[in-house]
Amino acid sequence: MISRIKRKISGTLQALRGKGNHGNHGYCSICEHPVYFEIEGPWLRDQYRCVNCKSIPRWRALMSVVAELYPRWRELKIHESSPGGPLSDKLTRECPEYLPSHFFPDAPRGQIHGGFRCEDLMAQTFKDGSFDLVITSDVFEHLPDVRLAVGEIMRTLRPGGAHIFTVPWYRTKKTLIRALVKDGVLQHLEKPDYHGNPIDENGSLVFTEWGVELPFLLQQWGQFPVIIHTIRDRALGIDGEFREVFVQQKSYR
């Protein structure tokens, strides 16, 4: 699906580039100072980069929302699942209580493996109320059971904490299940589609293309409201497809 969207917008952006629209100056929320954003190709989501930190729009959008809602984020305890890229690097450098995790199928859960804690987002080993923030960047399309993951994230958040995340959201379409696991067996319902994976050169299988139902499902599974931040601002280097940032905050009740 994403490849079809890329082809659809390619001609339009190429025409703009022909008029000299190769990028712009602006403010990067990850660098936290003025930078130049360069357009490297037609797919802005992955090809509209900060020349300084090499970040892409969804990371800048996510960081912008984190900084707006939790300006003292450096003092918080943050769990990021499946980290990778300039946003994760920033959190590593600047947040003393940042904890990154990946899921390694053959490693003991809750133990350090390859420099990361091994955690299954759908069955975590963390205690209740362990974190102020949980961050995921394009993870939910790769999980066979997001309902379990949402429940676990809400369990591990402290009251007032939030899950702040991005995921490709086909907001005008119905959700498409591409693959599922039934009785422990992987079943493909559509042609297998893989995205890049920072710890596996084979990539990550896409289980679900989330559609219009996603916000309602998140609220149902997590029992807390979901707010969607949609930013399109070239001055912040944020443009392109799938730039929505979802926020599900755990109340103080």
CA 135 to chain CA centroid, nearest Å: 7
pTM of the complete model = 0.89
Which has more confidence, 73 or 114? 73
Reply yes or no on whether the pLDDT at 19 is more than 80: no
Rounded Cα distance between 138 and 167, Å, is 4
Exposure string of 139-154, with b = 16+ CB inside 10 Å and e = fewer, is: bbbbbbebebbbbbbb
pLDDT tens per residue, range 183-197: 889 999 999 999 877
Rounded Cα distance between 2 and 218, Å, is 22
**2-249 is classed in which CATH architecture?**
3-Layer(aba) Sandwich (3.40)
Rounded Cα distance between 109 and 161, Å, is 24
Where along the chain do its domains lie? 2-249
Rounded Cα distance between 13 and 232, Å, is 16
CA 213 to chain CA centroid, nearest Å: 18
- Find out whether 20 and 3 touch, Cβ atoms under 8 Å: no
pLDDT tens per residue, range 102-150: 999 889 999 999 899 999 999 999 999 999 999 999 999 999 999 999 9
Q: Quote the tokens at residue 166.
A: 């991005």
C-beta neighbour count of 178 within 10 angstroms: 17
Residue with tokens 């289980």: 207
